[in-house]
Structure 1
């Protein structure tokens, strides 16, 4: 019979190799770092990148909003002058600010609504298609979403061109009782769509919705794939129509998806700049300014007033924070109820 040796570890014996005990009794890695601190240490590189690329520029923007900063200060020939709230008082007493604010809010409301409606409709359609056709349509839609904002503006500026744009060409093909040319014109050729504020923003809404709905559609499609098919089968057995099924089943289950998409769309559309800049051909029409365009015009058009431009940016950021917080709180209250 083989002898069996039992080894017992006393109070003074050392722990197993590779591990040692800390004074509190919790395990400590061989590197000497407590296990609970490892996730926080791994977050440090990402936090440093965020601090350098986001927090520091934001801090500089806030400081600049309370200073008088022009070309002389940029060149370093004069120090920045601290002016307190003067920049904010100037923009709030300027009629252009309130016109830009109105344009921003109205445009964002229309663009966000249409983007969500069109994107949701396309997402539901994609869910009804077969796999191959759905994949084909998704790829085609994502091409529009992948187009850079400046290129979007160039595309739609050419489409709305007064002399050679496709929009005027299509309107000329329609009968006069459906699309009569403006007074004093025999046809639509030469109609300057992008010179006046209203048609300019019509073009901007079309441009933004065209580029934004694919992301909404794909996100809605992903949400629809997670809804059990049994719910739709039960609704069909009960005689529920398509609209009633969407309102009673699809919409409630996709509320978290729509909440995120709505917030993202509001943020994106409130600060639209590149497309408007290209369509407007620069900050030329003050009546067509939104807050982003007004900020750039104040900061970089001679005479440069970077402090005023920074103040406008701060106001826009505060508005976005208020809207986002209010919307999120409303969503949370509805979930709790």
Structure 2
């Protein structure tokens, strides 16, 4: 009986299981892939945004690139004459012009001063807000954000009035100080007749309008720093200066980096405030790149191609900083 059973068991073939079919023990068959279906819903949702970007940003940039390679004046714009393709002649004219490099230096130096002072004032105000109580911090930050929300032309009008000779608040206050301290004749001094003093007022105007954003951003970053670190530094007798450079700055370094790049992008293309403070395009010595491109495009005779070339150079500079900003944001996302 036992022999017969064992022979039957040996002779009867067994249906191969999953492990045997795959050739390795414990292996399972791969899951079936479902066919990918095209779903138009997400594309339809982002279509209005893409269309808006294409109309408001991509199309003007395309027009700017096209204009910078053509000789375009008033007659060409009106359709009386065809636009003439001049290749890189506009760029050659711009880059070989000594005035362009003077304007470029004005732009770099003024933007550097704006960024440095904006970051310093914004950081100090952010540190102050972090030390205040909730109610006082809310009151101060709300008041500061009013300056940030002020339109550029409005802030330029305010600073034009503050420094107007013969009636402005700043000349009046300076005239009250002793002559041995600041000199005399400030009441009739024209702050907008020289490039240096014009840019002094411009830097003050831009910093006043820009520092609230830095302050609020720094305050948000400070809220994420553990309070135990500051308590330990206080117990060790660390000064406020040492605490900032040993604790606050290293922890908020990504925040400071992003804010610095954003400030560079914004301050490199300042136009409205400078145009109003300098009285238009009459004072060419006070030009920055944005003003220079505008004056070449609208001055008589109009040179839209030359203005487009200058604007394209400025756009290329801003794209470099924008690419750096995007790279920083991606890195921070990977770290997070």
Q: Tell whether the structures are fold-level matches, with TM greater than 0.5.
A: yes
Give the equivalent residue in structure 1 for 2:285.
287
Shift of 1:327: 7.2
Give the equivalent residue in structure 2 for 1:25.
34
Give the equivalent residue in structure 2 for 1:137.
140
Indicate whether 1:123 and 2:121 are aligned: no
Shift of 1:318: 1.4
Unaligned runs of 5+ in 1: 1-22, 182-186
Shift of 1:256: 1.6
Indicate whether 1:180 and 2:183 are aligned: yes
Secondary structure of the equivalent of 1:221? helix
Counterparts in 2 of 1:177 and 1:55: CA distance versus 1, 3 Å? same
Give the equivalent residue in structure 2 for 1:264.
262
Shift of 1:252: 1.2
Give the equivalent residue in structure 2 for 1:17.
none
Give the equivalent residue in structure 2 for 1:317.
315
Per mean C-alpha deviation after superposition, the further-off stretch among 315-324 and 112-121 is: 315-324
Counterparts in 2 of 1:254 and 1:273: CA distance versus 1, 3 Å? same
String of CA shifts for 1:265-315, please: whole Å, max 9, x gaps: 001110000000000110111111000000000000111111111100111
Give yes or no for contact 1:96–1:286 (8 Å, CA) kept in 2: no
String of CA shifts for 1:119-149, please: whole Å, max 9, x gaps: 0000000000011111111111111111111
Counterparts in 2 of 1:280 and 1:261: CA distance versus 1, 3 Å? same
Distance 2:223 2:48 in 1: 36
Give yes or no for contact 1:153–1:207 (8 Å, CA) kept in 2: yes
Give the equivalent residue in structure 2 for 1:229.
227
Unaligned runs of 5+ in 2: 1-31
Give the equivalent residue in structure 2 for 1:104.
107
Indicate whether 1:47 and 2:50 are aligned: yes
Give the equivalent residue in structure 2 for 1:151.
154
Distance 2:180 2:61 in 1: 54
Give the equivalent residue in structure 1 for 2:80.
77
Counterparts in 2 of 1:138 and 1:106: CA distance versus 1, 3 Å? same
Secondary structure of the equivalent of 1:281? coil
Indicate whether 1:220 and 2:218 are aligned: yes
String of CA shifts for 1:180-221, please: whole Å, max 9, x gaps: 12xxxxx32211110100000000000010111011101111
Give the equivalent residue in structure 1 for 2:117.
114
Give yes or no for contact 2:265–2:321 (8 Å, CA) kept in 1: no
Distance 1:27 1:306 in 2: 50
Give the equivalent residue in structure 2 for 1:94.
97
Shift of 1:53: 1.0
Shift of 1:42: 3.1
Shift of 1:104: 0.1
Give the equivalent residue in structure 2 for 1:208.
206
Distance 1:48 1:327 in 2: 24
Give yes or no for contact 1:67–1:81 (8 Å, CA) kept in 2: yes
After TM superposition, the score normalised by the length of structure 1 is 0.84
Counterparts in 2 of 1:282 and 1:118: CA distance versus 1, 3 Å? same
After TM superposition, the score normalised by the length of structure 2 is 0.85
Indicate whether 1:65 and 2:63 are aligned: no
Give yes or no for contact 2:262–2:325 (8 Å, CA) kept in 1: no
Distance 1:176 1:156 in 2: 24
Give the equivalent residue in structure 2 for 1:240.
238
**Structure index of larger Rg:** 2
Secondary structure of the equivalent of 1:177? helix
Give the equivalent residue in structure 1 for 2:252.
254
The count of aligned residue pairs is: 302
